[in-house]
Amino acid sequence: MDELYARIDDYLDGALSAADHTAFEAQLASDAALATALAQVREARLRLRQAWTDEADDAALRNTLRAAATSYFKSQPAIRPASIRRRLWWAIAATLSLLAIAWWNLRTPAPERIYARYRHFPEAAFTLRAGAPQSLPAAESAFNQKDYAGALASLQAYLSTDPANLDALFFSGLCQLELRQYAAARSVFQQLQNSPNAWSDEARWYTALSHLREGNRPACAALLRQIPPDAAHTAEARQLLNDL
Burial 84-122 (b: 16+ CB within 10 A, else e): eebbebbeebeebbebbbebbeeebeebeebbeebeebe
51 in the same domain as 153: no
Q: What is the pLDDT of residues 223-233, one digit of tens each?
A: 999 998 888 89
123 in the same domain as 238: yes
CA distance 120 to 102: 23
- Please list the ranges in the chain whose pLDDT falls under 50: 52, 55-56, 72-73, 76-81, 84, 104, 106-108
CATH of the domain at 232: 1.25.40.10
Question: How many domains, the chain?
Answer: 2
pLDDT, mean over the chain? 79
The answer to whether the CB of 177 falls within 8 A of the CB of 207 is: no
Residue finishing a domain among 107, 128, 150? 107
99 in the same domain as 161: no
190 in the same domain as 151: yes
133 in the same domain as 59: no
Q: Would 140 be classed as within a structural domain?
A: yes
List of residues 6+ apart from 115 with CB closer than 8 A = 209, 212, 213
Q: Would 217 be classed as within a structural domain?
A: yes
- Domain extent for 198: 117-243
